[in-house]
């Protein structure tokens, strides 16, 4: 089967779980014998994966080239559209990215020579985020008209119109894969434009894939989508050999408790900080690490200062993939106190490194993980008590790790890919 897939990001450019999921899904689908053309936004000057050959034409509004994949990804093509789109952008962040994509004047002559190798569009970068989504979508229509494929697979809201344009251009069925909703990112203060895009996509597509029953229920409740139109495909983990690559000799007297993710409302960083203050009253030698970046980072630094726990608290900023793996290998515990988490791949990644995990009950991962400790995100005392229990009882930590190892044997992308293929076949018959 040939699949035309639209996504926001692809390794090594990963801002969250979406890029990890796209990598795992595509790799497993290709292993099953399917061929994928993956369309990803980007702009000049980036280092893309080794199997992507980026031919840069900075001032051409949109472009794509067929790229041959290496052996590990044979069957997968990556197509690059010259675009400032990035996951988790708001309008202000988008505008900054767009300005950074302006064309240096001395490249004009070079571009004129390259004009036959790119997709053209009617205008420059969009004036705002939604306009950019639409520009990306128009390019998708051009690509779809140029491709031969059986099904369209689009990931999350930025690719909704791309998927719909491709569906219109080709007449092929569209599967919309929901990894995160505006209600996850913003709570009740949703961006109405993004909410409209999400609902429009789910109404007009042929089928919806949700990463958890938690997400499926939100789609039914807030978007009014027929439950029969939604299939649940849980995420997985693939880096089973990672501990052999990154191994850290941990000091039993210097425990590290980790938060890793975007430092935003959705991820609950404030609950982690407040729980840390409670834990440090009983275990003053513990180190807490907040790895990531986001719009709440300054507030969290101020809160740490207010609580007088700065000597035990470290902020790393945004981490690249290898740095993420290294920080997992150094940690003795991982806490994911998300307010609303569609899935939470990071909890599985922590388990790969034999790290005991505490996760929010308000997460998709809680549906499939039986051997982690679960808390309500808002219950700071419960979070602190669970951390203290693991610190105080090494045998509990060992039991969690051992049972997690057993469970990971059944959590893999091949199973997810088989369920996705079943959805494709349903659409084609």
Q: Where are the domains of the chain?
A: 2-236+413-428, 242-408
Across 57-71, 137-151, 264-278, the highest mean pLDDT is recorded for 264-278
Q: What percent of the chain has pLDDT over 70?
A: 75
pLDDT for 200-236, tens place per residue?
A: 999 999 999 999 999 999 999 999 999 999 999 999 9
Q: Is the predicted pLDDT of residue 180 greater than 70, yes or no?
A: yes
Residue 9, SS3 per DSSP = coil
Q: Is the predicted pLDDT of residue 40 greater than 70, yes or no?
A: yes
Total residues found in the chain within this entry: 429
Per-residue model confidence (pLDDT) at position 52: 27
Q: Is the predicted pLDDT of residue 127 greater than 80, yes or no?
A: no
Please give the DSSP secondary-structure letter assigned to residue 370.
Answer: -
Give the integer Cα–Cα distance in Å for 391 and 302: 27
Residue with tokens 């061929």: 35
Q: Residue 114 — pLDDT band, cuts 50, 70, 90?
A: very low
Give the integer Cα–Cα distance in Å for 358 and 337: 8
Q: Residue 27 — pLDDT band, cuts 50, 70, 90?
A: confident
Per-residue model confidence (pLDDT) at position 118: 33
Q: Residue 35 — pLDDT band, cuts 50, 70, 90?
A: confident
Give the integer Cα–Cα distance in Å for 25 and 179: 12
Please check whether residue 239 is in contact with residue 349, taking contact to mean a CB–CB distance below 8 angstroms. yes
Both structure tokens of 203: 């109404």
Q: Which residue, 39, 44, 43, is CA-closest to 66?
A: 39
Phi, psi for 233 (deg, rounded to 5): -130, 105
Q: Is the predicted pLDDT of residue 313 greater than 90, yes or no?
A: yes
Per-residue model confidence (pLDDT) at position 355: 95
Mean pLDDT of 63-72: 35
pTM of the model: 0.81
Cα 285 to chain center, whole Å?
A: 33
Per-residue model confidence (pLDDT) at position 330: 92
- Residue 1 CB neighbour total at 10 angstroms: 15
Mean pLDDT of 235-260: 75
* pLDDT top residue among 238 and 6: 6
CA atoms within 13 A on the CB side of 250: 19
* pLDDT top residue among 50 and 136: 136
pLDDT for 240-249, tens place per residue?
A: 544 555 566 6
256: β partners:
287
CATH of domain 2-236+413-428: 3.40.50.2000
Q: What is the mean pLDDT of the chain?
A: 80
Please check whether residue 358 is in contact with residue 334, taking contact to mean a CB–CB distance below 8 angstroms. yes
Per-residue model confidence (pLDDT) at position 42: 60
Integer angstrom CA distances of residue 159 from 163, 183, 378:
6, 18, 32
Per-residue model confidence (pLDDT) at position 112: 34
Please check whether residue 233 is in contact with residue 416, taking contact to mean a CB–CB distance below 8 angstroms. yes
Per-residue model confidence (pLDDT) at position 39: 83
For 284-308, the three-class secondary structure string (H helix, E strand, C coil) is CCCEEEEEECCCCHHHHHHHHHHCC
CA atoms within 13 A on the CB side of 280: 20
* pLDDT top residue among 400 and 67: 400
* pLDDT top residue among 343 and 83: 343
> Same CATH fold, 242-408 and 2-236+413-428?
yes
- Beta-carbon contacts of 40 under 8 Å, excluding residues fewer than 6 positions away, are 7, 8, 9, 10, 78, 79, 80, 81
Q: Residue 31 — pLDDT band, cuts 50, 70, 90?
A: confident
pLDDT for 74-96, tens place per residue?
A: 554 545 444 455 555 555 554 55
Mean pLDDT of 37-56: 50
E strands of 299-412, at which residues? 313-317, 333-336, 357-360, 373-375
Q: Residue 117 — pLDDT band, cuts 50, 70, 90?
A: very low
Q: Residue 146 — pLDDT band, cuts 50, 70, 90?
A: confident
Q: Is the predicted pLDDT of residue 124 greater than 80, yes or no?
A: no
CA atoms within 13 A on the CB side of 38: 30
Q: Is the predicted pLDDT of residue 194 greater than 60, yes or no?
A: yes
CA atoms within 13 A on the CB side of 134: 11
Give the integer Cα–Cα distance in Å for 212 and 131: 30
Per-residue model confidence (pLDDT) at position 372: 95
pLDDT for 260-303, tens place per residue?
A: 999 999 999 999 999 999 999 999 999 999 999 999 999 999 99
DSSP output for 249-267: ---TTS-EEEEES--SGGG
Mean pLDDT of 192-197: 86
Q: Which residue, 255, 261, 286, is CA-closest to 342?
A: 261
CA atoms within 13 A on the CB side of 388: 16
Q: Is the predicted pLDDT of residue 8 greater than 80, yes or no?
A: no
* pLDDT top residue among 80 and 369: 369
Q: Is the predicted pLDDT of residue 56 greater than 70, yes or no?
A: no
Mean pLDDT of 370-374: 94
CATH of domain 242-408: 3.40.50.2000
Both structure tokens of 128: 């705002």
Both structure tokens of 309: 């726990």
Q: Residue 250 — pLDDT band, cuts 50, 70, 90?
A: confident
* pLDDT top residue among 104 and 313: 313
């Amino acid at each position: 089967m040939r699949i035309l897939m639209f996504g926001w990001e692809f390794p090594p450019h990963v801002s969250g779980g979406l890029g990890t999921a796209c990598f795992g899904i595509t790799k497993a689908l290709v292993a099953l014998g399917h061929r994928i053309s993956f369309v990803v936004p980007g702009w000049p000057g980036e280092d893309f994966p080794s199997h992507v050959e980026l031919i840069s034409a900075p001032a051409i509004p949109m472009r794509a080239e067929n790229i041959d994949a290496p052996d590990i990804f044979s069957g997968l093509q990556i197509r690059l559209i010259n675009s400032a789109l990035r996951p988790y952008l708001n309008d202000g962040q988008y505008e900054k990215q767009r300005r950074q994509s302006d064309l240096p004047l001395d490249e004009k002559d070079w571009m004129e020579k390259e004009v036959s190798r790119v997709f053209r569009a009617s205008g420059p970068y969009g004036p705002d985020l939604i306009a950019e989504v639409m520009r990306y979508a128009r390019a998708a229509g051009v690509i779809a008209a140029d491709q031969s494929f059986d099904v369209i697979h689009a990931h999350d809201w930025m690719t909704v119109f791309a998927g719909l344009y491709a569906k219109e251009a080709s007449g092929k069925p569209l599967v919309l894969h929901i990894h995160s909703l505006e209600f996850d990112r913003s709570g009740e203060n949703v961006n109405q434009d993004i909410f409209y895009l999400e609902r429009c996509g789910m109404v007009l597509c042929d089928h919806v894939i949700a990463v958890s029953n938690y997400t499926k229920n939100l789609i039914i409740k807030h978007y009014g989508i027929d439950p029969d139109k939604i299939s649940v495909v849980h995420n997985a983990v693939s880096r089973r050999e990672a501990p052999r690559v990154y191994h850290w000799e941990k000091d039993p007297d210097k425990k590290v408790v980790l938060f890793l993710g975007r430092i935003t409302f959705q991820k609950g960083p404030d609950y982690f900080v407040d729980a840390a203050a409670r834990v440090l009253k009983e275990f003053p030698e513990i180190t807490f690490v907040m790895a990531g970046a986001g719009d709440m980072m300054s507030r969290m630094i101020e809160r740490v200062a207010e609580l007088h726990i700065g000597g035990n608290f470290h902020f790393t900023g945004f981490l690249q993939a290898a740095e993420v793996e290294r920080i997992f290998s150094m940690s003795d515990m991982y806490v994911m106190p998300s307010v609303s988490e569609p899935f939470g791949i990071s909890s599985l990644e922590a388990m790969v490194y034999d790290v005991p995990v505490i996760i929010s009950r308000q997460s998709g991962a809680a549906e499939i993980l039986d051997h982690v400790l679960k808390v309500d995100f808002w219950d700071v005392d419960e979070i602190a008590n669970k951390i203290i229990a693991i610190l105080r009882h090494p045998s509990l930590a060992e039991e969690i790790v051992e049972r997690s190892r057993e469970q990971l044997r059944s959590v893999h992308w091949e199973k997810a890919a088989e369920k996705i293929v079943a959805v494709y076949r349903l659409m084609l018959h």
